[in-house]
Amino acid sequence: MTQTTQAVVVGGGQAGLAAGYHLRRLGVDFVILDAQIQAGGAWQHAWDSLHLFSPAAYSSLPGRLMPIQTGETYPDARHVVGYLTDYERCYNLPVHRPVRVEGVHRDGRLLCVETNAGTWRAEAVVSATGTWWRPFVPAVPGRSDFRGRQLHTVEYRSPRDFAGQRVIVVGGGNSGAQIAADLVYDTELTWVTQRPPRFLADDIDGRALFDAATARRRALDEGRPDTGGVASLGDIVAVPPVRDARDAGLLKASPMFVRIEREGVVWADGTRTPADAVIWCTGSRPALSHLAPMGLRGPRGHIATVGTRSVEEPRLHLLGYGDWTGPASATLIGVGRPAREAAREISALVSARTGLRHFGSSHVAPSLNALRPAVTHAP
Residue 242 Cβ vs ligand FAD, minimum distance, rounded to whole Å: 12
Interface stretch with ligand FAD, choices 40-48, 185-193, 214-222, 364-372 (CB under 6 A):
40-48
> Which residue minimizes CB distance to ligand FAD?
13
User: Applying CB under 6 A, which of residues 19, 28, 31, 42 lies at the interface with ligand FAD?
Assistant: 42
Binding-residue pattern over the window 333 to 362 for ligand FAD, x denoting contact by CB under 6 A: x-----------------------------
Q: Which of residues 137-166 bind ligand FAD (CB under 6 A)?
A: none
User: Applying CB under 6 A, which of residues 7, 23, 35, 349 lies at the interface with ligand FAD?
Assistant: 35
DSSP string, 165-185: -EEEEE-SSHHHHHHHHHHTT
Coil, helix or strand at residue 148: coil
DSSP string, 310-358: ESS-TTEEE-SSSGGGSTTTTSTTTSHHHHHHHHHHHHHHHHHHHTPPP
C-alpha dihedral, 317 to 323 to 328 to 330, nearest 10°: 60
Q: Which is nearer to ligand FAD, 13 or 264 (CB)?
A: 13
Cα torsion angle, 81, 83, 88, 89, sign: positive
User: Applying CB under 6 A, which of residues 21, 30, 53, 156 lies at the interface with ligand FAD?
Assistant: 53
Q: Does 324 bind ligand FAD (CB under 6 A)?
A: no
User: Applying CB under 6 A, which of residues 7, 8, 9, 15 lies at the interface with ligand FAD?
Assistant: 15
Q: What are phi and psi of 56, to 5 degrees?
A: -55, -45
The angle, 0 to 180 degrees and rounded to 10, between the axes of the packed helices 77-90 and 14-25 is 20
Residue 129 Cβ vs ligand FAD, minimum distance, rounded to whole Å: 3
**266-301 core/surface letters (b: 16 or more CB in 10 A; e: else):** beeeeeebebbbbbbbbbbebbbebbeebebeeeee
Query: What's the Cα-to-Cα distance from 212 to each of 48, 133, 216, 217, 220, rounded to whole Å?
Result: 29, 27, 6, 9, 12
Q: Does 69 bind ligand FAD (CB under 6 A)?
A: no
For Cα atoms 15, 89, 128, give the angle at the middle one, nearest 5 degrees. 15
Q: Which is nearer to ligand FAD, 146 or 210 (CB)?
A: 210
Per the DSSP assignment, residues forming a β-bridge with 135 are 284
Cα–Cα dist 41/35, whole Å: 9
Q: Does 325 bind ligand FAD (CB under 6 A)?
A: no
User: Applying CB under 6 A, which of residues 7, 28, 31, 33 lies at the interface with ligand FAD?
Assistant: 33
User: Applying CB under 6 A, which of residues 52, 122, 277, 291 lies at the interface with ligand FAD?
Assistant: 52
What lies within 8 Å, CB to CB, of 175 at 6+ separation is 153, 281, 283
Q: Which is nearer to ligand FAD, 38 or 194 (CB)?
A: 38
**Tell me, what DSSP letter sits at residue 67?**
P
Interface stretch with ligand FAD, choices 126-134, 249-257, 291-299, 359-367 (CB under 6 A):
126-134
User: Applying CB under 6 A, which of residues 287, 291, 316, 350 lies at the interface with ligand FAD?
Assistant: 287
Q: What order do you get walking across the sheet with 259-261 strand by strand?
A: 259-261, 264-266, 272-274
Residue 351 Cβ vs ligand FAD, minimum distance, rounded to whole Å: 26
Q: Which is nearer to ligand FAD, 10 or 26 (CB)?
A: 10
With CB under 6 A as the rule, give the number of residues binding ligand FAD.
34
Could you tell me if 249 and 88 are in contact, meaning their C-beta atoms sit under 8 angstroms apart?
A: no
Q: Which of 175, 191, 174 is nearest to 233 (CA)?
A: 174
Q: Which is nearer to ligand FAD, 27 or 135 (CB)?
A: 135
Q: Which is nearer to ligand FAD, 133 or 324 (CB)?
A: 133
Q: Does 96 bind ligand FAD (CB under 6 A)?
A: no
> Count of H helices and E strands in the chain?
6, 18
User: Applying CB under 6 A, which of residues 6, 129, 187, 190 lies at the interface with ligand FAD?
Assistant: 129
Q: Which is nearer to ligand FAD, 61 or 265 (CB)?
A: 61
Q: Which of residues 175-234 bind ligand FAD (CB under 6 A)?
A: 175, 206
Q: Does 127 bind ligand FAD (CB under 6 A)?
A: no
Q: Which residues bind ligand FAD (CB under 6 A)?
A: 10-16, 33-36, 41-43, 52-54, 59, 100-101, 128-130, 132-133, 175, 206, 287, 290, 320, 330-333
